[in-house]
Amino acid sequence: MATKPYDRVKNTNNASDNFLRTPYWDAHAEEGYQVWLKSASRESPPDLLDEYLLNGIAVSFKLLESSVCCTLINVALRDKEQPHLLTGWADNWNDALLVAHYKITEQLGGNWVSVDTGRKVPRR
């Protein structure tokens, strides 16, 4: 089943400073992701899990409202109290992991640093 772009933006307005800010997931971002999916030669989702875990990136999955959220957690950044969470949403864990991987590798260029999205993050 194809993932709706809406599923990928469920936490875009997350108020937590722990989340890395990525460009807003709109039709353009979805199109870029679909092109990447078709053209990229990449590791399988199980191999990606191994790679992340071996490199100090914890991975968690959670089912919420019939969608799967994959959260990548950069443990070293968490320990330094810097933004360290990045999520991907989809209909299944494989695709959710690939969305999160796309965000970190393509949207953030492999850097665990937020981009300026122009969105204001509410402060508590």
CA 122 from centroid of its chain's CA atoms: 20
Half-sphere exposure of 55 (CA within 13 A, CB side): 10
Q: What's the first-to-final CA gap in the chain, in angstroms?
A: 38
Q: How far is CA 11 from CA 19, 25, 87, 89, in A?
A: 10, 11, 8, 9
Confirm whether 61 is domain-assigned. yes
- Residue 97 DSSP class: H
Please tell me the distance from the alpha carbon of residue 66 to that of residue 118, in angstroms, as a whole number: 30
- Assess if residue 45 is contained within a domain: yes
Residues 6 or more apart in contact with residue 112 via CB below 8 angstroms: 20, 74, 77, 83, 84, 86, 104
Distance CA 82, CA 50 (A): 24
Is 32 domain-assigned? Answer: yes
Name the pTM for this structure.
0.81
CATH number at residue 95: 3.30.160
What pLDDT, in 10s, does the model give residues 45-71? 999 999 999 999 999 999 988 899 999
> pLDDT tens for residues 4-52?
544 455 544 455 678 898 888 889 999 999 999 998 677 889 999 999 9
How many domains, the chain?
1
Residue 4 lies in a domain: no
Residue 115 is assigned to a structural domain of this protein: no
Q: Which domain holds residue 91?
A: 17-107
